[in-house]
Every structure is written in C-alpha cells, then in structure tokens.
Amino acid sequence: MADEKKQDAPKPGAGKAPAGKAPAGKAPAGKAPAGKAPAAAPAAAPKAGAAAPAAAAAAAPAPEVKKPKPSARHMGTAKAARRRLRKKKSQIQARRKKEFTYRGHTLEELLELPMADIIELLPARARRTYIRGLNSEQESFIKRLRASDKPVKTHRREIPILPEFVGKTVQVYNGKEFSTVEIRAEMVGHYLGEFALTRKAVRHSGLGVGATKSSKFMPLK
C-alpha cells in the first residue's frame, strides 16, 4: 500500500516546465510568439504628482487681484457720496461759447434781411422810432457810420442799434465827454445812450478834514 501511494503522488517537478524552457502556449520572455511582431514597449507614464499640476497651472488664467475696498470711515456714508456727486455736478465748468441769435436769427441772417423785416424784430420803442422816420441829424450819423471805419462822434444818444452797426466804434457824448463804445452783437435793439453813462457811482471818502468841502474850513483843535 505504501508503494502504491508513492506511485500515485505527483512528482514535485512534474507540473512545471523545466528551467530554461517556456511552458507550452507561451513565448519565452524577451521573444515574441511565432507570427507576431514584438510589441513596442509602453511609454513611461508621467508622474501624476509633478507634471500634471504644472500643466494645469500654466493653462489656467491668472487669478484677478481684487483691490481692497476702502473702509466706510474713509469713504463716508452713501449719503455723503451722493452729496459730493451733486456738488461736483453743480460746479461751474468751462462752457462752450454759444452762437449769438436775436429773435431766432443769427447775425449773418440779420444782415441779409431787408430793413423792413429788421424793424419788425426790434422792440416796440425802437420799432416806432424807425417807422416814424429819422431826422436829418440821425440820418447823417448813420450815413457817416456806414461809410467810415474809424470811430464816429455823435450827440445822438437816442438812435437804436441795428445789426449793420455791429463791429463799428462810436464815440457817444455823455454830457461831459465822448465815451468810446464798441458795438457788439448783443447790443442790437438797444440805444447808443445806454452804453455811455451820464452818472458815476458816488464814493464817499473817510470822515474828518477834507471829507467834504465844508470840512476844509473847520478849525483844527
């Protein structure tokens, strides 16, 4: 019986291929099986902890740096901010010079209008002066003003200014001397005498001797 058990027991090297030989159906290491080309060695995989985060960091956009907001103590409340905004809007800024218009007409258009249409645009008193007709002295002054480029002297203070007078220089008598008046577009419709004042502002000197004519004769004590 012991001999039969020994014969039935498998030998220790029976199920394994001998050293140096590959088992049936498998090619030996380093050699491809018959009819197949040797497979290329797989590329070395990048390390997950080094190359991948570096590539992701390069592709991702740079984070926006947020500026620190000033404190409420520095900026003030919302009510104070609105007050500053209103104050800024109310400040006088450089304004563009507006084009002159008189009753909706520019100076160029007024110069092209006939005399009858210009008279209709004037105020009532000035319009009445031209409708009733000018006297010989007034007509003489207007003729001299049209023909001359130099300042023209006149005593006629009651002549209304017409658009054709703009740019001329007139010396108007104010009762004592001739005041030089340069006629501008804004003066159309006014009288010449309005720009040659006959009175001066009263200025009082200090109290004491010499302040008035009567004080000159006051005794000094």
Structure confidence at residue 101 (pLDDT): 92
If you average pLDDT over residues 36-40, what whole number do you get? 50
Over 80: is that where the pLDDT of 190 sits? yes
Question: 194 near 160, Cβ under 8 Å?
Answer: no
Residues in contact with 156: Cβ distance below 8 Å, sequence separation at least 6, in sequence order: 137, 138, 141, 192
Spatial distance between the Cα atoms of 190 and 122, rounded to a whole number of angstroms: 9
Structure confidence at residue 127 (pLDDT): 95
Spatial distance between the Cα atoms of 187 and 101, rounded to a whole number of angstroms: 12
- Give me the chain's average pLDDT, please: 75
DSSP letter assigned to residue 192? G
Structure confidence at residue 55 (pLDDT): 59
Over 80: is that where the pLDDT of 200 sits? yes
Spatial distance between the Cα atoms of 169 and 77, rounded to a whole number of angstroms: 58
Structure confidence at residue 96 (pLDDT): 62
Structure confidence at residue 22 (pLDDT): 47
Q: What is the pLDDT of residues 117-142, one digit of tens each?
A: 999 999 999 999 999 999 999 999 99
Over 90: is that where the pLDDT of 171 sits? yes
Structure confidence at residue 124 (pLDDT): 95
pTM above the 0.85 mark? no
Question: 146 near 140, Cβ under 8 Å?
Answer: no
| Half-sphere exposure of residue 38: CA atoms within 13 angstroms, side-chain side | 9
Over 50: is that where the pLDDT of 148 sits? yes
Q: Using pLDDT thresholds of 50, 70 and 90, give the confidence band for residue 82.
A: confident
Span of 39-48, 80-89, 129-138, 178-187 with lowest mean pLDDT: 39-48
Q: Which fold has domain 101-195?
A: 30s Ribosomal Protein S19; Chain A (3.30.860)
Q: Tokens 């070395």, residue?
A: 44
Structure confidence at residue 30 (pLDDT): 46
Q: Could you tell me which residue, 28 or 182, shows the higher pLDDT?
A: 182
Span of 17-26, 66-75, 152-161 with lowest mean pLDDT: 17-26
Over 60: is that where the pLDDT of 203 sits? yes
Residues in contact with 18: Cβ distance below 8 Å, sequence separation at least 6, in sequence order: none
If you average pLDDT over residues 189-207, what whole number do you get? 85
Q: Could you tell me which residue, 190 or 40, shows the higher pLDDT?
A: 190
Q: 61-85 burial, b if ≥16 CB within 10 A, otherwise e?
A: eeeeeeeeeeeeeeeeeeeeeeeee
The span from the first CA to the last CA of the chain, in angstroms, equals: 173
- Residue 82's Cα: distance from chain center in Å? 20
Question: 166 near 184, Cβ under 8 Å?
Answer: yes
